[in-house]
A = this chain, B = another copy of it.
Amino acid sequence: MSLIVVGTVAFDKVHTPFGESGRIVGGAATYISLAASNYVDSIYLVSVVGSDFPETFLGMLEERGVDLTGLERKENENSFFWEGRYHYDMNSRDTLETQLNVLASFEPKLPEGAKNADFLMLGNLAPAVQMAVIEQLESRPKLIVLDTMNYWMDSALDDLKTVLKRVDVLTINDEEARQLSGEYSLVKAARKILEMGPKTLVIKKGENGALLIQGNHMFYAPALPLEEVVDPTGAGDTFAGGFIGYLAHTRDISFENMKRAVVAGSAMASFTVEKFGTERLLTLTDEEVEGRIQLFIDLVDFDIVLVN
């Protein structure tokens, strides 16, 4: 199965109450591709970088089966850069600086080989850019997953609503679900959002896990309580990459299999936060991922006998 991953490939600088990352590689498509590469051999990365981006890192992506034909490289320009500071609770953050750089004029171009891909992951980008990708497809993928954020709900809501009509799964966090729907109750919020286009909603709750909703079916995967959280950046993208990677690998988009995919994505995300940036993902083995999935199984396992 082939997978297209669209999103930023960028530099981050992260400050937490416990340390600072310096300038490191980040970006939604970076995390998504790295996570998905644990499950999928054929990944088309569609993004843009400047001439400041390290070739060695791109080489590592290629070694993991990530096709970079769709990665535009702009000479004499700089890559997208984001700098942020996490609050003490590590669940919220302030943006200190954003330099759009190459992203300001980004026009995604799907490579020929990608136009009939089976799975499409649209990482967080302007909704119009996400739409431009969909319009280049020659056949409808089995599954399109879209990630977005509150920034686009504030600044490009109409575009967002247009692209939502074209996707199967939306991933957002709980505050964004409340903002997009105007409903406080996540159950009501989900119902409204599922009328906007996607048949399936994943509500990401950070250290509190993730909620998968499709029709009247709900599944709650808690996040694994961790000894050490160094840097939450990229956790949501890692989750999305593990989620769609698992689905593409198993070629099964039923609700039952999406539940497994949520657990796989949660397991991967739990690694990302243990180090700054992509460091932990780069050394991840299948055995480590499965070991962590076993911890998830144990974490929620109980048996109870109902008498009525």
Contact = CB atoms under 8 A, between A and B. Distances in A.
A-B CB proximity, top 5 nearest = A208-B208, A220-B222, A259-B302, A300-B300, A260-B304
Contacts of A290: 306-308
A250 to B, nearest CB: 10
Interface stretch (A27-35, A109-117, A126-134, A223-231): A223-231
Given A287-B308, A290-B306, A185 B229 contact: yes
Interface stretch (A5-13, A54-62, A236-244, A291-299): A291-299
A297 to B, nearest CB: 7
A301 to B, nearest CB: 8
Contact of A225 (B218, B225, B228, B303): B218
Nearest to A89: B184
Nearest to A189: B225
Contacts of A222: 209, 220, 222, 300
A143 interface: no
A219 interface: yes
Interface in A2-20: 17-18
A218 to B, nearest CB: 6
Interface in A172-216: 184-188, 205, 208-209, 211
Copies of this chain: 2
A75 interface: no
A226 B299 CA distance: 22
A211 to B, nearest CB: 6
A299 B218 contact: yes
A169 to B, nearest CB: 17
A187 to B, nearest CB: 5
How many interface residues does chain A have, given as a range?
A: 35 or more
Given A208-B205, A209-B208, A227 B188 contact: yes
Contacts of A49: none
A304 B300 contact: no
A36 to B, nearest CB: 18
B226 A185 contact: yes
Contacts of A307: 290
A154 interface: no
Contacts of A219: 299-302
A90 interface: yes
Contacts of A46: none
Contacts of A227: 185, 187-188
A263 B225 contact: no
A143 to B, nearest CB: 19
A286 interface: yes
Contacts of A228: 185
A221 B220 CA distance: 9
Contacts of A256: 302
A107 B302 CA distance: 40
B260 A302 contact: yes
Nearest to A17: B184
